[in-house]
Chain A
């Protein structure tokens, strides 16, 4: 054994002692308390074994046995430390400890979500750090020697470089004049770049400003569910990604247009540093312009928006803190840098290939592969439709991704087959040569643009429009909160609440109820997990999975109460005729809520429910019983809580309800005219005294929901505009880049004696797919998805109309814009081709 440093030995002993001792730290949360490992294992023993305790939930069982690996590691650590202290380095024990730690952590991370506390994942990192340290200590001398040699070599080279590349003096004013003149001449290219980054700034500013304005009047974020914070974070990520695409597109346009000049300067001997500086200066200049412009416009829009909203909600246009400005600028800079980085390799590639030959990419029209992809695509699409028809598969993003993937493959297949047939048939080939030129000579490239346009059309017409539209189509109103206060409490609050009723209320309704929890209240989809990670909402994720937080509370009522509630709201109700343990679910939500289940662990018609009192263990498998759901409906009987996630009604048969009833009461209170505030205060103080009581008031709820809706609408409107602009950009880029080539081609045909009519027709044929396919494929799919959405969200006719009223203008405007761009491009092209005689 080599001579190890004293310090290393001490550190090593400390680390392994810690690893051994760590099992006595709180490892696992069990029964609401952090338990050490031995404690936990004893608890399991006492309750008759792990299988018994977890009801055989395989993940939990497996995780439990994995803990023994850690115990082994702890024992081995003790052995190792003892050896160390005795002056022996027991290599094999050392290795085994490390293996144990890694095995445990890898397994825990990848397979078993049971949930030791987060800090325990530090242990393998500690091991690793120790290992690295050991390696370093062992090889220090050689490492240092090598580093010294390398440094010397580097220094020599640096000096040499400096000497050889010495270029004294400063560029004169004519240098800067030259750059400026160049910029002015090509101003069009910069405009696109500036516009897209102004967009980003505007977006960031508006979102943050609105959020900080709403924060002041938005009461308890946690109560209302969604919350502005979440909307914001979600939106910022989406917006950033979209904007990066947008900026990327304009950036590549910009680079493309600069290529010739750059190349010329390079040939005339410009220094690479100077060239880089010019690029950077131009880019930074654009960004600064955009930032200023964005802030000014943002401020303007913000004030207008607040002016409009202010008539309904008491918000004022307050300033933002300097910190918020810094965050905005930071995000802006990060996005700009990302766009630049993503595009810099494009730039490099273009620059160096510009001196060589920029050949059109290799063109292969897929044959068999096209057919296979068509089959796979069909499968994907059908699968997505099947998912989309149930509330459980419902509106998840995965269905949409799956569908779009399928759509792309099918499009590829159809086009490929068409082109193959044209190519193989000589007659047809000559007839279609000019019409189908882009696809015959650049199949992949042009298909890519068509996919993008199709996806964009789908995003505009469904994905984003559905969020925007459904939230715009269901304004918050008294209808959604029929009572001033909704309160749930146990028996012990009865007296005080009745007193309150007598004092302030014109009407207090009191019904028996039972609190109901469902096992897995959230849809843990892949996309959601990623979104949670990206939205920095760590409360919602742990290892990319949903943490076991308290499940939302639903209200269980007997059928008789359900009928009374219905009558209260002036609706005819027919008896549900529930028998035994059958249940019915009333989703209390408006049209803006996404279709969802109360329990994602079951299927649509079973529900794992627990109806025990609060002390019960909410995460114990055994506590939940599957029940049969015989009926689902969407109706508002007491009020919307948590954006539809909480306080949905679970209706039991009267007999069964009597079995589970534990004295809880549901109070629906209508306050006297002027007494709302006083009653609110009173309720607040009561709810502080009595455990397990909760309530919400109509006014706060309406205000909160309204602010959230506004934020949501602004955000998603922006997304819509942004994607829409991307679509138009894409068209421009396609035809502006190729303008010279297309013009030359048609001039040639003109010179060869083609008549004007056929020329125009051919041009139309060539350009049309870029508008028609997205319209048919993207738009058509969006319409189908919208219809399916009506179904899974259980919209009624009025809601459908309302929704269409909000969304149809978006569709129409998008396609008008798209067609206008298309026609303008076509006109420019045909003007260029057919110079007036």
Chain B
């Protein structure tokens, strides 16, 4: 299997007040991660809050520059890509579901779903069809005309998921996508992700706290304080053993 994303000693620092010279302003978030994600893999990222999961996901999604190390996307060194190439990758190859949704207040929910396609110069007809299809699938058909301000958290989340899927990206990245969902929607989302992964052969990278969701994945990175403490890989078909292992790992992290 070809690797699709690989990081090499990935380091990310934030600087308070953008002050790069002052060492006391440095916040080390990621401390040299080596991650490889193969084509078609379903990957979960777990770990304590504040451990750097969101940051990692943003870097993998090329929304955030990295401080040191390398990030290879489909074999290309991301530091050698132009800004617009990164934009193209974000638009076409990655669908992102943010923790805080990131919907535009000025547009209706339906239009929000279509934004990535609009930016990709797509035809209006095609866009509408696709948007309706996705909305039906996630049960937000009735919400299409509303503005984001009138939606609940869970509804916004589903809109954001539709938006992530609309450009048929090869990779879906989601930051705690089930955080605001009821059990039923949550399960449906998991099924969708499963479908996307198994049937369409797309990559999924998911940050979650929920072991039930994590057990659907093929591989789990546990991150604590900017380093990978453990990588779990699912053995063929053995879901229940995998689930137990996850629980054990979570307990271990709690104890520390």
Contacts and interface: CB of A to CB of B under 8 A. Distances in A.
Interface of A: 161, 164-165, 167, 169-175, 178, 181-182, 184-186, 261, 264-274, 353, 355-357, 359, 361-362
Contacts of A356: 14, 18
Contact of B122 (A172, A184, A270): A172
A386 B123 CA distance: 74
A272 B14 CA distance: 24
A164 B121 contact: no
26 contacts: A164-B82, A167-B88, A172-B121, A172-B123, A174-B118, A174-B124, A178-B115, A178-B118, A181-B111, A182-B106, A184-B106, A185-B106, A261-B104, A261-B106, A266-B87, A267-B90, A267-B96, A268-B115, A268-B119, A269-B92, A272-B84, A274-B119, A356-B14, A359-B16, A361-B17, A362-B19
10 closest residue pairs by CB, A with B: A269-B91, A185-B106, A269-B90, A169-B121, A182-B106, A269-B87, A359-B17, A175-B118, A165-B84, A270-B119
A271 B18 contact: no
A265 B106 CA distance: 13
B102 A273 contact: no
A303 B96 CA distance: 59
Contacts of A175: 118-119, 121
B57 interface: no
B118 A267 contact: no
A264 B105 CA distance: 11
Given A184-B106, A264-B102, A170 B121 contact: yes
Interface string B71-110: 0000000000011110111111000100000101111000
Interface string B168-194: 000000000000000000000000000
B98 to A, nearest CB: 8
A191 to B, nearest CB: 16
Given A167-B88, A269-B88, A181 B107 contact: yes
Contacts of B105: 185
Contacts of A362: 17, 19
A165 to B, nearest CB: 5
B43 interface: no
Interface residues of B, number: 36
Contacts of B87: 266, 269-272
B227 to A, nearest CB: 22
B18 A174 contact: no
B114 to A, nearest CB: 7
A770 to B, nearest CB: 24
Nearest to A263: B102
Contacts of A182: 104, 106-107
Contacts of A270: 87, 91, 119
* B contact face: mostly helix, strand, loop, or mixed: helix
B17 A271 contact: no
Contact of B121 (A171, A181, A264): A171
B119 A269 contact: yes
Contacts of A167: 84, 88, 121
Nearest to B87: A269
A168 to B, nearest CB: 8
Contact of A355 (B63, B96, B119): B63
A815 to B, nearest CB: 37
B67 to A, nearest CB: 12
A357 B121 contact: no
User: Which of B91, B114, B115 has its CB near the most chain A CB atoms (within 10 A)?
Assistant: B115
A353 B15 CA distance: 11
Given A174-B127, A269-B91, 15 more contacts: A167-B88, A167-B121, A172-B122, A174-B111, A174-B118, A178-B107, A181-B106, A264-B102, A265-B119, A267-B63, A268-B163, A270-B91, A270-B119, A273-B84, A274-B119
Contacts of B16: 357, 359
Contacts of B104: 182, 261, 264
A325 to B, nearest CB: 37
Contacts of A184: 106
B40 interface: no
Contact of B124 (A173, A186, A267, A268): A173
Contacts of A171: 118, 121
A173 B118 CA distance: 9
Contacts of B163: 268
B68 interface: no
Nearest to B98: A267
B116 interface: yes
B20 to A, nearest CB: 12
Nearest to A169: B121
A445 B16 CA distance: 17
Interface in B2-29: 14, 16-19
Contacts of B83: 272
A267 B83 CA distance: 12
Contacts of A357: 14, 16
A169 B118 CA distance: 12
B38 to A, nearest CB: 24
A822 to B, nearest CB: 29
A598 B169 CA distance: 81
